[in-house]
Amino acid sequence: MEYHKLVISLLVLGCLYKYSTGYVPDLPADIQKCTIADERCLLDGMNYVIRHYAATGSKELGLVQLDPLRIKKLSLGKNPNSPVSIDLSFSNADLIGLSEAQVQRVSAFTSDLSRPIVFDMVSPKVTLKGPYSVEGRVLILPVVGKGNAQIVLENCQVHAVVKLSPVSKGAHQTYAEVTEVKMKLEPSRVTYKLDGLFNGQKELSENLHALINENWREVFNELKSDISGAMGLIFKAVLNKTIGNLPLEQLFSDF
């Protein structure tokens, strides 16, 4: 993955759940165990978890609250070769809307975890909302600002390829770790609303909003690999925490 202009300094998710050692919980009773190769069951299971636990998180599943998902820090760096060259950072932002996400496909696991897992999802509307600062150049305009921002991605198609690696912690205690996530986002529309641009100079702010909202596709395309990379790291942290919470012997009926 291309990270040349991506600086994700300290991307830490808030309040991750921890279990005390020695006690190995089972899968919650309302969640059906699947066999590792049953794609339909895995798909239904993931959608069940999103519908029932995204808004609250689940201690038993080691799942953080997904909606809103608190993002402590997320930053993109300038790329002098791109028409969109900005330092953009968010701190303590919320990603809102993931509870409406639908997994459309999840590929089967293999018993040695050697085959990457492919996820396809769609999220009708996700909003990144929170304090931001920006400095740089967008197409022909210089940009500088600090305040609250809201970036909305509509009908966002998400394609992720996840590499896993098994870690044995004893007999019948094989844990999966997420070693790599490659993610691609394809929204059908992106809208930007940035408060506090140009020290509150209204006309400059309106010009920039018109420019980036009318040319949202070009702007997003320039930032896509960085934004996808950042979202991939977030997904990786959430998934690693969840999948590493229970041994595979308890997640699957035939592992």
Ligand X SMILES: *[C@@H]1O[C@H](CO)[C@@H](O)[C@H](O)[C@H]1NC(C)=O
* Contact residues for ligand X, defined by CB under 6 A: 177-178, 237, 240, 244
**List of residues 6+ apart from 72 with CB closer than 8 A:** 10, 11, 12, 13, 14, 91, 92
* Least Cβ distance, residue 174 to ligand X (angstroms): 12
List the end-to-end C-alpha distance of the chain, in Å, as a whole number.
31
Locate 191 and state its tokens.
């809208």
* Least Cβ distance, residue 177 to ligand X (angstroms): 5
* Least Cβ distance, residue 235 to ligand X (angstroms): 11
Locate 90 and state its tokens.
């968010």
Q: Which C-beta is closer to ligand X: that of 13 or that of 37?
A: 13
Q: Which C-beta is closer to ligand X: that of 177 or that of 254?
A: 177
In total, the chain counts a number of residues equal to 255
* Least Cβ distance, residue 72 to ligand X (angstroms): 15
The residue at minimum Cβ distance from ligand X is 244
Q: Exposure pattern of 156-179 as b/e (b: 16+ CB <10 Å)?
A: bebbbebbbeeeeeeeeebbbebe
Q: Which C-beta is closer to ligand X: that of 65 or that of 240?
A: 240
Q: Which C-beta is closer to ligand X: that of 93 or that of 239?
A: 239
